[in-house]
Structure 1
């Protein structure tokens, strides 16, 4: 199947995604594209952990996931957040189905570092047949990043990693990171296209700074395999075309250069 677009929605932006954003995803599908949404839910997980008085900590940017934290994350991601996104797509005129990475063994994982991180998993295999079957039925898959190993143990999966794995195994045309910014700004203007090499220089000279640095680095980490470009766009604004195309900053792979010392 061609024209697959994997859209990763960060947990911090889920609650603020505009009606226009969901309409753009539905329009994208009606114009022949095949969108898949992978979402996070960090802030909502934190809120429930606080209410339940469950302590949580981060190690190298990843949430240390105990059994209690995993149970909480699964409730939030697979229940509340996933169904919010599905409902918004239905209200925008589309047909969507919510899944976790455990459904149909959609995302098989292995532990990242069980000793330090607990139940945090890294994708090893994606059930692409399940996603392709749903898209052939004109459904928009909405995936919560909870995975499972061969023994049936559930693991929390970083949403960026889940989106990257799905895009890679499906040979997606495009991977889009939906955030709360229009893209990479330079002199007050949103850059339409930049290379990975330019990204490094923009970080060094301060053009890319603050909270934008981890967003860009997360996007760069997915430029593996056949994925040649990723896009960063704002899900809270109306940066979408009438045909459902999204607008933001596209990051493309630089040509490999060899330096001899």
Structure 2
């Protein structure tokens, strides 16, 4: 099975164009099975504002107390997931929404409870259910809420979830879809970035804020053995005539003596 995991950021869902869905059709024609993971930051922030809760972030990750977790799960599973599923269905893709905590699909553990609260990292992706869905020709759309062995639900950065799902499914490709063409360095699109280059640009401030977990997740996916990892735009064609548009990530080259 040729899997491609596609992570859509919450900020880009309302900006996905027909060209984006055309690229998805092209991927299916090439024999890829699609699996989606989504974020939902803007929708969560809007609801937090309604409840007069100030969002807090640590290195691009949302600090999550109990109230924030309840709001995040409500919005991610009940609103953002439904939005992406509906968009896919409107473009004739048979999508089905899945919460990561359902059936322990995303087994998780606390990342740093003291600093981040109810924020998790993936300890295991249970792929049997995902494979069952895909084998029936449906497209899973996964909400990034995990669950611990004790039954605690945890908010997980969707970029990290995409990387782990790609690893677990042995996906050939993992795409991080944003509202920009890729990673810009000195106002120019970087067609490719190595592990070392990413660390250098983060240290220099060229890569900052919410882009940091995206590029680190991309590198994590590469390190875990995903053949091809890219940040691409959801506002235009990112794949046509076997040509990719965006920023590709690759491992640090081995120094030869």
> What TM-score does the superposition give when structure 2 sets the normalisation length?
0.88
| Cα pair distance change 1:26/1:75, threshold 3 Å | farther
Structure 2 CA distance for partners of 1:56 and 1:213, relative to 1, 3 Å: closer
Give the Å deviation of 1:71: 0.7
1:213-239 Cα distance to aligned partner (Å, 9 max, x none): 524344223332212431011111223
Q: What does 1:90-105 align with in structure 2 at a 5 Å threshold?
A: 90-105=89-104
SS at match of 1:238: coil
Moved more, 215-224 or 110-119: 215-224
Tell me the SS of whatever aligns to 1:152.
coil
Could you tell me which residue of structure 2 aligns to residue 174 of structure 1? 173
Q: In the comparison of the two structures, how many residue pairs are matched?
A: 256
Distance 1:187 1:54 in 2: 35
Structure 1 residues 85 and 60: CA distance shift in structure 2, 3 A: same
Cα distance in 2 between the residues matched to 1:223 and 1:54: 36
Post-superposition Cα deviations, 1:81-106, rounded to whole Å, max 9, x if no partner, equal 10111111111111011111012211
Residue 252 of structure 1: CA displacement?
1.4
Give unpaired runs (5+ residues) of structure 2: none
Whether the 8 Å CA contact 1:7–1:37 is kept in 2: the answer is: yes
Structure-2 residue corresponding to 1:153: 152
Secondary structure of the corresponding residue to residue 55 of structure 2: coil
Query: Could you say if the C-alpha distance between residues 154 and 212 of structure 1 is closer, same or farther in structure 2, counting changes exceeding 3 Å?
Result: closer
**In the alignment, which residue of structure 1 is the partner of 2:18?**
19
Aligned pairs for 1:162-201 (under 5 A) are 162-185=161-184, 190-200=189-199
Instruction: Give secondary structure in 1 for the equivalent of 2:123.
Output: strand
For the residue of structure 2 that corresponds to 1:131, the secondary structure is helix
Equivalent residue runs for 1:215-230 within 5 Å = 215-230=214-229
Range with greater deviation from structure 2 (24-33 or 8-17): 24-33
Change (3 A) 1:26 1:83: farther
- Report the Cα offset of residue 58 of structure 1: 2.0
In 1, the alpha carbon distance for the partners of 2:190 and 2:53 equals: 42
Range with greater deviation from structure 2 (21-30 or 167-176): 21-30
What is the match of residue 71 of structure 2?
72
Matched with 1:239 is 238
- Pair 227,238 (structure 1): closer, same or farther in 2 beyond 3 Å: closer
Larger mean Cα displacement after TM superposition, 230-239 or 85-94: 230-239
Gaps of 5+ in 1: none
CA RMSD of aligned residues (A): 2.6
Provide the rounded CA distance (Å) in 2 between the counterparts of 1:72 and 1:148: 16
Matches for 1:112-131 after TM superposition, within 5 Å: 112-131=111-130
CA deviation string 1:26-80 (max 9, x = no partner): 4422431011111111111000011122343223332121111111000111111
